[in-house]
Amino acid sequence: MAPIPSLTIRFSFKSPMDSDDLAMHTSKQSKPLLRGSIKLNDLFAVATISAAVIIVGLPATAQTPAPASKTKAETTTQVKAEPLSGAELWALNCNRCHMARSPGEFTAAQWQTILMHMRVRANLPATQAREVLKFLQAGAGK
Amino acid sequence: MVRSIPTIVNQTILCGLGALICLLSPSAAMAQDVASSPPPSSDYVSREEYDKLKTEHEAMKTDHEAMKKELDALKAVVQQMANGTVPGAPPEGTSPAASPSEGKQVVTTTPSQPVTPSTEAEAVPTETSGPLATHSFSIVGDAEVQFGKISGQHGAFMLSDFAPIFLFRGGDKILFEAGFDFIIQNNAPGGSGYSTTVNLSFATLDYLINDYVTFLGGNMLLPLGTYSERSAGWLNKFPDAPLPRSVLPGNGVGVQLRGGIPIGEKGQSLTYSAFVVNGPGSVDGSGNADQLDLGGNVGLTSNGKFANLHGGAGEGGRIAIFWPWKPLYDLEVGVSGMSSPWDNAGRRQYNALVADWALHIGPSVEIKGEYMNTWVGTDNAGTITPHGWWLQAGYKLAGLKLNVPYLDKLELVGRYDTVNDGLSMRTKRGTVGAVYYVTNTLWLEGDYEFTSNHGPNPEPDDSLLFQISYGF
């Protein structure tokens, strides 16, 4: 049995004080300052701003749904394997034994008769035969 | 101008404190808002909005996966259409095959609708406003024209077969189908003119009991292996049948139950067939080994008597599994068998066991074959075991993606088949050839067969065959 594909929800929230922005901001400012002799004061200023950012960021983080804190069951949703469509079943079943016939080759009424014939001949499951029939009749010739 | 260090320190400290005060103020206000209710600011996402977005995302993901699968399948078929190995696209705007998006539209609008045969007919758009007629008559089938050159003989054109299949549908559950073979042959040496032969290949009344069981009655193709049911000229990639099919009956008169059961979401299915027929007969009524007649016991003797030649019945069936794992990649494996008395006294038994398989690896590669073994009780030779097997493979050059117009429509084919009649004759044959697909149902086939016979009356050896096959 093929594994059922899973869907992982990743929530992305762009904040004005996003950590990426912060990293860029600090790097731009700290490099020229480090060249000077007032390193201590610069560090103090940076630390102060950083503390402010953290404090500001906390409420926003608390308010925003936090995917990281959610359980795996909550963040991972199993996508149910959908049954194959009529088009897929048409390609799958017809090409097993012969070249697939184009929907426009026969009328809708003829397709109904031919699909009954093929359902019997190829032992097609009824549900699949009906889906193929719908696909073929939708594009049937006039 | 250089400022003094204390001045810079003071400015920096002031800037830092100012920034801290500015940032802490909104923080405190927001903390209060959070405690009471979510802020209305558009910069934040509430739980409700998150859940809604999550649901929408999941739905889109599901739709995306379904569309991707469908698109893959359609791509493969459309590719074949482009290569001429599948019919040309239907008229624009009328066929889902012409456009994946159109196909998707059709498919997505219909699956949720309950499908019953009656409503499904009414739901189909036609040129008239009413529902489709409940009864319908159609003709499908195939025709072949052949040229053959057998070693040691003159080459000749032959109309080998014209094989229409008449289909009459009576409502949603009843189908009558009959297949004929019209063949013209030169009369025997010494005679003049030619004769036309008409064979009834099959004629069955089918009744769809439910989704899983269909009843067949009449002269039916027997599901011993797959070849007998899938041997039309535009299905078989070779002009002739595999040799070992001669050890099996092709059809029989009786009744049959058959059907398919879906066993997965990827199109997998389990199929079955179970039949009771008159079974093989004997040419002269005896149980001598050379008198076995695999197709002659149709229930009505030439003198008008209505009788099974041996009074017994032949029972058999086939069970198979069809397992696609992705579009155009699939494997079918089946096992079938049959047991029946065959001499008029009903004392000698004919038993057959067949294994069949078919593998498709993408749109270009097909490998399939059958193995069959039979056990025939006889009056004069004990139990003989006619048997054989065949294996064939085909490769469509379109798979090489050369994009050369004519090469892309070509399929190289090869087959090996062997048969042992259980008495004294053994034949081995290797065939190489090609199929050129003019359209999906019009083929040009060319094959060279290397035949090796061992026995008292060997068949003619190597042969060259060309065939035009058309399915309609």
pLDDT greater than 60 at residue B317: yes
Average pLDDT over residues B263-269: 91
Looking at residues B266-276, what average pLDDT do you find? 96
What share of chain B in percent tops pLDDT 90?
54
The predicted structure's pLDDT at residue B332? 97
Name the pLDDT band for A70 (thresholds 50, 70, 90).
very low
Contact A87 B74 (CB under 8 A): yes
Q: Which of A82-91, B127-136, B317-326 has the lowest mean pLDDT?
A: B127-136
Helix (H, G, I), strand (E, B) or coil at A48: helix
Q: Given this model, what pLDDT does residue B213 score?
A: 97
Query: What is the model's pLDDT at position A14?
Result: 37
pLDDT score for B70:
72
User: Which B residues, 329 through 388, put their C-beta within 8 Å of a C-beta on chain A?
Assistant: 330, 332, 358, 360, 363
Average of pLDDT values for B314-341? 95
Angle at B234 between CA B82 and CA B271, to 5 degrees: 100
Token output for B131? 């529902």
- Whether B433 has its CB under 8 Å from any CB of chain A: the answer is no
Q: Do A102 and B87 touch (CB under 8 A)?
A: yes
Chain B residues near residue A62 by CB distance under 8 angstroms:
34
Confidence grade of residue A58 (pLDDT, cut at 50, 70, 90): very low
Across the interface, whether the CB atoms of A108 and B269 are under 8 A apart is answered no
Q: Are B463 and B150 in contact (CB under 8 A)?
A: yes
| SS3 of chain B | CCCCHHHHHHHHHHHHHHHHHHHHHHHHHHHHHHHHCCCCCCCCCCHHHHHHHHHHHHHHHHHHHHHHHHHHHHHHHHHHHHHCCCCCCCCCCCCHHHCHHHHHHHHHHCCCCCCCHHHHHHHCCCCCCCCCCCEEEEEEEEEEEEEEEECCCCCEEEEEEEEEEEEEEECCCEEEEEEEEEEEEECCCCCCCEEEEEEEEEEEEEEECCCCCEEEEEEEECCCCCHHHCCCCCCCCCCCCCHHHHHCCCEEEEEEEEEEEECCCCCCEEEEEEEEECCCEECCCCCCHHHEECCCCCCECCCCCECCCCCCCEEEEEEEEEEEEECCEEEEEEEEEEEEECCCCCCCEEEEEEEEEEEEECCCEEEEEEEEEEEEECCCCCEECCEEEEEEEEEEHHHHCCCCCCHHHEEEEEEEEEEECCCCCEEEEEEEEEEEECCCCEEEEEEEEEEEEECCCCCCCCEEEEEEEEEC
Q: Which of A107-116, B35-44, B337-346 has the lowest mean pLDDT?
A: B35-44
Residue B465 has pLDDT above 50, yes or no: yes
Closest CA to B388 of B272, B243, B276: B243
- Higher pLDDT pick, B284 / B116: B284
B123 — pLDDT class (breaks 50, 70, 90): very low
Residue of B37, B140, B263, B329 best to disrupt the A interface, most CBs of A under 10 A: B140
Q: Is the pLDDT score of A122 beyond 80? A: yes
pLDDT at residue A54, as a whole number: 46
Residues within 8 A of B (CB atoms), A 41-70 only = 41-42, 44-45, 48-49, 51-53, 55-56, 58-60, 62-65
Q: What is the pLDDT of residue B34?
A: 43
pLDDT at residue A12 tops 50: no
Residues 3-42, chain A: which have Cβ within 8 Å of B?
Answer: 5, 7, 9, 11, 13, 15-16, 37-38, 41-42
| Per-residue pLDDT at B402 exceeds 80 | yes
Q: What is the pLDDT of residue B79?
A: 63
Q: How far apart are CA B94 and CA B254, in angstroms?
A: 42
In the predicted structure, residue A61 carries a pLDDT above the cut 70: no
Q: Convert the pLDDT of each residue in B33-62 to its tens digit.
A: 444 444 455 567 778 888 888 888 888 888
Q: Average of pLDDT values for B9-15?
A: 54
Q: Region B407-421: what's the mean pLDDT?
A: 96
Q: What percent of chain B has pLDDT over 70?
A: 77
Residue A4 has a pLDDT of 39
Which of the four pLDDT bands, split at 50, 70 and 90, describes residue B306?
low
Q: Is A107 an 8 Å CB contact of chain B?
A: yes
Say whether pLDDT at B69 is over 50.
Answer: yes
What pLDDT is attached to residue B81? 57
Looking at every residue in chain B, the average pLDDT score rounds to 81
- The minimum CA-CA distance between A94 and chain B, rounded to whole Å, is 10
A-chain residues near B471 (CB < 8 A): 98
For the segment B267-275, the average pLDDT, to the nearest whole number, is: 96
**Does the pLDDT of residue B322 top 80, yes or no?**
yes
**Predicted local confidence at residue B310, as pLDDT:** 85
The residue-averaged pLDDT of B306-330 equals 90
More confident residue, B186 or B175: B175
Q: Specify the higher pLDDT residue, B155 or B118.
A: B155
pLDDT, tens only, B85-94: 544 444 333 3
| Cα–Cα distance, B35 to B31 (Å, whole number) | 6
Highest mean pLDDT among A45-54, A95-104, B17-26, B34-43: A95-104
Q: Which of A45, A86, A120 sits opposite B214 (nearest CB)?
A: A120
Q: Domain boundaries in chain A?
A: 6-78, 86-138
Band of residue B326 on the pLDDT scale cut at 50, 70, 90: confident
Q: What is the mean pLDDT of chain A?
A: 64
Q: Which residues of B fall within a CB distance of 8 Å from A137?
A: 124
B21-35, B246-260, B279-293: least confident range: B21-35
Report chain A residues whose CB lies below 8 A from the CB of B361: none
